[in-house]
Amino acid sequence: MAGHPIVHVEFASNDPTATSKFFADLFGWQLQHAPEFDYTMFRAEGGPGGGFVKADGTQFNTGDTLVYVGTDDIEGTLRQAESLGGKVIMPKMEIPNTGWFAIFTDPNGARVALYTEMNQ
């Protein structure tokens, strides 16, 4: 995944159900709920999809947006981010039956997630 495209965008909310409905009504996004994660995803025609996560005041605050960038090598990309002044805040973790992700901050503190699909 040499181009490192944006593959997923997450919106944090105190009420992910209401927030997902707002965006679906506003933009016509198609919603799909994953009950095993209690997570609602959206598909946006012509762009990356994403989801709505419950703000918990620790990992996600209301109004946070987290961009996921695709990579074939999460660990290698994390090492490169650190060598450039970034900081790993969540190491590579599995999303069961889906893929893997990790989160780092850039030198200014902005959070960015990495993602690799399981079938790669």
pLDDT tens-place string over residues 72-105: 999 999 999 999 999 999 999 999 989 999 999 9
**In which residue are the tokens 């919603």 written?**
31
Q: Which residues, 6 or more positions from 2, have their beta carbon under 8 angstroms from its beta carbon?
A: none
Residue 97 carries which side chain, given as an amino acid letter?
A: N
Residues 21-29: what's their mean pLDDT?
Answer: 96
The residues pairing with 95 across neighbouring beta strands, listed in sequence order, are 99
Tell me if 77 sits within 8 A of 31, measured CB to CB.
no
pLDDT at position 37: 87
* DSSP symbols for 41-59: EEE-TTS-EEEEEE--SSS
**pTM for this one?**
0.90
- In the chain, the amino acid numbered 119 is N
